[in-house]
Amino acid sequence: MTTTIGLCGLGQMGLAVAGRLAAHSPVVAFDPSPERRSLADRIDNLTAVDTLEELTGLTVVVLSLPTPAISLSTCEALAALLPAGAVVIETSTTTPDAIQSCQSILGGHGLAIIDAAILSGVGQMSSGTATLLLGGDTTVIDRVTDILDAIAPRREYFGELGTGMAAKVINNGVAHAVMVVLAEAASLAAATGVDLDQLTQMLAAPDGGLMRPLTHRLTERVARGDYEGGMPLDAARKDSTLALSLAQQHRVPLFALQGAHSVYEIAMSSGLARKDYSALVTLWEHWTGRELHFASEQPQ
């Protein structure tokens, strides 16, 4: 027997998710906007409805909503509509606390929720190449594996409920911060006559400014807590100072690079001058009381 899937939210991503789900099973989709429901009505095997009550009795409901507050209020409403044992799949971008709050509400009615944050964009979702970041009870995830397969073929499991959402929020925070850095880099390049196409190729190269900090300094040095040798932090600070000077000379406003430079000044005053510059993460270890090593073997 084919399971009818509920869907709450028909925004840009919600419509893409709707198309993926409807290719797998019948879908009943709710959105308060008549315009969004009209767009969804064009999808075969999908019925767009104007009240949440029309999802009553469904055993699986997918959320694709714009804010954590709307997810929470939707879960409050669904708790009274869905049968015991039903599963809510949260694909919206929300927070660990918000999804835990949803679990508290749903769990009191015998319902379960998992996080299935969407790492990818709308185009990737539509084409079937998206990735889901999962968190929650693996027995619940196993019960809806076929539906997760329908949404996206690629999945990463992070652990307990909320970890998939945390990973998504962290990823987006990095992406948005990097976009500011790239805007500053492009402006500096334009001001100094550096070809922007060449600049992008250089940054993306294995030894470039985007990839090397991730593939060497984070995944090798920080992972093992190995800060001996390498590029000394005082040399990195010097290079940062040169970048700031270049920006001042050409009247290029800096925000991200200026803020990042402050960390190097703090690290210098903390006695890290001759450590590899990845050692600046030890500042966060001190501030948070949490080690950031994650390799199975630590240096002797």
Residue 298 in any domain: the answer is: no
Give the tokens for residue 147: 């539906």
Residue 153 in any domain: the answer is: yes
Q: What is the DSSP letter of 83?
A: P
| Helical ranges in 12-82 per DSSP H | 12-22, 34-40, 68-79
Residue 211 in any domain: the answer is: yes
Give the tokens for residue 286: 């001190």
Q: Which residue type occupies 121? A: G
pTM of the model: 0.92
| pLDDT values of the chain reduced to their tens digit, one per residue, 300 residues | 578 999 999 999 999 999 999 999 999 999 999 999 999 999 999 999 999 999 999 999 999 999 999 999 999 999 999 999 999 999 999 999 999 999 999 999 999 999 999 998 999 999 999 999 999 999 999 999 999 999 998 999 999 999 999 999 999 999 999 999 999 999 999 999 999 999 999 999 999 999 999 999 999 999 999 999 999 999 999 999 999 999 999 999 999 999 999 999 999 999 999 999 999 999 999 999 999 999 876 655
Residue 294 in any domain: the answer is: no
Instruction: Examine the domain organization and report whether 129 and 215 are in the same domain.
Output: no
- Which CATH number does the domain housing residue 126 bear? 3.40.50.720
Domain boundaries, position 50: 5-160
| Boundary-marking domain end, from 136, 160, 184 | 160
- Which CATH number does the domain housing residue 242 bear? 1.10.1040.10
Instruction: Examine the domain organization and report whether 197 and 150 are in the same domain.
Output: no
Residue 76 in any domain: the answer is: yes
| Boundary-marking domain end, from 119, 137, 160 | 160
> β-strand 112-118 against 87-90: which pairing, if any?
parallel
Structural domain count of the chain: 2
Residue 22 in any domain: the answer is: yes
